[in-house]
Structure 1
Amino acid sequence: MTEQVVVAAGPGAGPGTGAVLGYLDGRPIPRDRLDRRLDGLRRSSRAAALPVPESSEGRQLVRWVAQVILTEELCATLDAPAVDPGPLDPVAAVEYGSITAAAYEGSPAVRAAFAQVTGGVTVPEEEVRRYWEAWARPAPDRWRLRHRLDGGPWQPLGPVTLEELPRAVRAGVERGETRAGDPIGEHEWTVEEIIPGALPSFEDDAPAIRAALLAAARRRTFAHWLDRSRAERLTLVEGLEHPGDPRQPDNHHKH
């Protein structure tokens, strides 16, 4: 987590109870935005899964929602054209962390900011080639069978490599047989197709590799932009620190 300034919530205010959610470029963000978001969560179908409001976990939820809103506000200042680059896949959600992932999924402004900030990101072709050379492997022959066990119904099996078949079936296929027994039972099969293997082809593989590397590069660029912008432009208030800040009293995650 990037270091951020935290200021007191205000005279007489308890943790996170002031009128300000945080400051963006010195401009106060009203606390009522956070209160409305929390009220909506408490009234939603997910309410039963939320922590008790006054518990340590409940205060962490308040901090988490506050950071989501501040991320949305930060991205909205770009006034980027409305563009929807699509939902996050599971890998992207893990890479971003829950706060950024929630802001991205819930706010068009965050998705538009992503598109604008990362629109010029490219991947050098030599990086695509280097990745391919490191991971390219010949594709083995694969087999498609019709298989049944102990006289039961026939089921499709495959396409699989011979190494993925039960040992008795593999040995039988290699010998051109159609029946074999093992401790599991009596196997019967018919070979329906043999799909020849192939040597790797950079021309065939490059588009998918290029797309995956570009997506990863765009995620890194956006995450770095967010970290830098949060550190430079956001001021947090006492009680609404980042939930992962080790200095706040409800952070129980220790190493």
Structure 2
Amino acid sequence: MTSHRTTTGPHPSAAGDRTRAGAAFAPGLGPVIGWVDGRPVPYALLEQRVAGLRKGPLSAALPRPGTAEARQLARWQTQVILTEVLCETTAKALGLSPVDGPPLDRLAAVELGSINAAAYNGSPWVRALFEHLAAEATIPAEWRPRQSSRPSTATHFVRHRLFPDRTSAARATLHDLAPLGDVDLASLPTALAEAIAHHPEGALIGPVQDALGWHVAAATRSRQPRSPRTTESPPATHPSAQEKEGEAAQPMSNRPQRPHAAARPSPTDLLQAARRRTFARRLDELRAAKLDLVPGLEHPGDPRQPDNHHKH
């Protein structure tokens, strides 16, 4: 959980649904839910967000106003709103443009966290900052499958494209790459060859810069043709006639399952997970530096606020 700075002042009942009593105020603006880089964020945004929920299709599932659960809902919505404002302010300062896109799937939402995911789904500015901050993410070494220590002389099937600038290269996908065919890594630019050697097969690699420009590539090892089976080779991997007869006598649901390799996340899945982790960490850093919270509207998981407790 990320902790943010909390302004001093009276503990507000503004964390509830219906009242602003005790909320922090900004001159000329009135009650606020916090400050983003010194800029006050009006309490009216929270009122509008909660009112919209209470008029929506999920209203029956919401907690009753005035309860601890309702105050927690207001705290959660406050963090979503402040995240949206923080990302919009930061993205505009960086000269980024808003980005449209589909909502996150369930796994991605879990990896980002509920507040970040809600902000991502609700704001094109959050998506814009995500693309910017996650552009340099790489798959952590501990996530990569262990490579054999034996030197490989296999060639690689490489897809590649050269871009004139980093921005356009960072937006590239696998569909933007053109096939180079089976190539020896030694024939590629050194920086690109080293990047390919240190990434899992099939992963989107780059942007990698050298004197030519910005490279983006993906590579898989070329499969060597299998040597023909000789008549002396024992059919060790094939079931015997007795085994086949035994299996045929059993219903499909009762047949023993042969062991198989456990499914592993693809390189693309690992890279996307790394991008989400990078964004979440960078966003936490921005919150710590630029957000000031109002007492009573802290993060719902903050142990210092009175409604963060478990009942058994």
Letter in 2 for 1:14: S
Q: Which of the two has greater helix per residue?
A: 1
Q: Aligned residue pairs: how many?
A: 200
CA contact (8 A) 1:9 1:239 kept: no
Superposition TM-score, scaled by structure 2 size: 0.55
CA distance in 2, matches of 1:84, 1:70: 20
Structure 1 residues 188 and 251: alpha-carbon distance in aligned structure 2, compared to 1, 3 A threshold = closer
**2:88 equivalent to 1:102:** no
CA contact (8 A) 2:33 2:41 kept: yes
Superposition TM-score, scaled by structure 1 size: 0.67
CA distance in 2, matches of 1:173, 1:31: 76
The SS at the match of 1:62 is: helix
CA distance in 2, matches of 1:24, 1:217: 27
Partner residue of 1:32 out of 40, 44, 52: 44
Aligned to 2:243: 174
Structure 1 residues 173 and 235: alpha-carbon distance in aligned structure 2, compared to 1, 3 A threshold = farther
How far has the Cα of 1:178 moved from its partner? 8.0
How far has the Cα of 1:224 moved from its partner? 0.7
How far has the Cα of 1:176 moved from its partner? 3.5
Structure 1 residues 122 and 250: alpha-carbon distance in aligned structure 2, compared to 1, 3 A threshold = same
CA distance in 1, matches of 2:113, 2:245: 53
Identity %: 48
CA contact (8 A) 1:15 1:239 kept: yes
The SS at the match of 1:122 is: coil
CA contact (8 A) 2:12 2:295 kept: no
RMSD: 3.6
CA distance in 1, matches of 2:282, 2:57: 34
Runs of 5+ consecutive residues of structure 2 not aligned to the other structure: 24-30, 149-238, 254-258
CA distance in 1, matches of 2:292, 2:56: 30
CA contact (8 A) 1:172 1:178 kept: no
Q: Where do residues 54-133 of structure 1 align in structure 2 (5 Å cutoff)? A: 54-77=66-89, 78-79=91-92, 80-84=96-100, 86-123=102-139, 127=141, 130-131=144-145, 133=147
Partner residue of 1:237 out of 287, 294, 297: 294
Write out the 4+ residue segments of structure 1 that deviate beyond 4 Å after TM superposition: 127-130, 170-173
CA distance in 1, matches of 2:12, 2:271: 47
CA distance in 2, matches of 1:72, 1:173: 66
Letter in 1 for 2:13: G
How far has the Cα of 1:238 moved from its partner? 1.1
Q: After superposition, what is the alpha-carbon deviation per residue over 1:110-158, rounded to whole angstroms, capped at 9, x for unaligned?
A: 111101111233348xx59941649xxxxxxxxxxxxxxxxxxxxxxxx
Structure 1 residues 73 and 130: alpha-carbon distance in aligned structure 2, compared to 1, 3 A threshold = closer
Aligned to 2:236: none
Aligned to 2:307: 250
Higher relative contact order (CA 8 A, sep 6+): 1
